[in-house]
Amino acid sequence: MSCILGSSSVQHAAKSNPASNDTDSWPLYLDAQSTTPLDPRVLDAMLPYFTHQYGNPHSRTHAYGWESEKAMEKARQQVADLIGADKKEIIFTSGATESNNISVKGVARFYKSKKRHVITTQTEHKCVLDSCRALENEGWDVTYLPVQKSGIIKMADLEASLRPDTALVSVMMVHNEIGVIQPIREIGAMCREHKVFFHTDAAQAVGKIPINVHDLNIDLMSVRSGTVPTPLVVGFGVACEIAKREMTYDHAHITKLSNKLIESITSRVSHITRNGDPEHSYPGCVNLSFAFVEGESLLMALKDVALSSGSACTSASLEPSYVLRAIGAEEDLAHSSIRFGIGRFTTEQEVEYTANKCVDHIERLREMSPLWEMVQEGIDLKSIQWSQH
């Protein structure tokens, strides 16, 4: 059985024409892993439940409640259809953090009299890692699996970590920062074989790649959500229906733009590293490190493009990404990374503009770097650092 738990809030409405609000300062948007603009068709489905169809779906004594309950059950079926689940397995929550907390802490505490071990990865979302640390404070053993340079775990490491008292394995499906896709089917099969519950945070995967919870051997999954308020649940259901119908088209569109962005930048600028395995990644999440450029300086220079240096949940920190450090990135490159998020409504013109601006500012910032000047003169910086040690 699969318990499907709702996640990050329904896609936010973005200003389609920021200039209409008496300002020309709004940046174009390339931060689709944080949130995405609301599809107008989803908004159309939601609006009646903000206005005249506002009944409480749990009110069983009048037509307002009946209509709201009917709409919620339709949404539950739409979500189930997208991921190959039974609608009875869908549970709406307030968001991804709650879903992940319920999954990790709930399974662990249910088995606390018999099992005291949980397995996750070093690159999981912060709310999963925080949940695991909370369990450690309660006396649980937690194994934090390392990842390879590709960002993907080794199945041999997982198998070696499984114990008779392992209650849960939690591994993210599509990574929110570097886009890599973990071998979910194989992980799920191994968990089934060892009679261990398997949870995956699929907030960045549902509606973007095909998913069937039964084929993938998933017991619990956190997905992009609607929440208990009827309008959001209805919107989530329609968003799932649209995603199922248009996933192939969306994927082709996003892949084309992703390739264009990468080619446009890397063909004109050297010393660029793509973080994560490009052969096993969601194309809409492109994480690049620019050597000899401070990531925060580049972000400030690109003030007319909405980008980030990693997960929105940790974007306030000036520390280099713990995810990039886990995949073996050098600290200076971890500090110089930018995440480009491409979505359904991203245009070719926006990608071209972003690539051109990136190239211009990278070249300008490097000209200000004494290290870059040394590289241009043919000096091997690694040999200098080595001799100093």
- Dump the DSSP string for 315-336: TT--SPPHHHHHTT--HHHHTT
Distance CA 204, CA 131 (A): 19
Consecutive H or E run containing 168: strand 166-170
Helix 348-367 with 230-266: angle, nearest 10 deg: 50
Q: Which of 103, 99, 124 is nearest to 236 (CA)?
A: 99
C-beta neighbour count of 377 within 10 angstroms: 7
| DSSP letter for each residue of 82-117 | HHT--GGGEE--S-HHHHHHHHHHHHHHHTTTT--E
Helix (H) or strand (E) holding 299: helix 295-301
Q: Write down the catalytic residue from 132, 191, 313, 358.
A: 313
DSSP type of residue 214: T
- H helices of 149-183, in order, are 155-161
240 assigned to active site: no
Determine the Cα–Cα distance for residues 296 and 336; give it in Å rounded to an integer: 7
Catalytic annotation, residues:
313
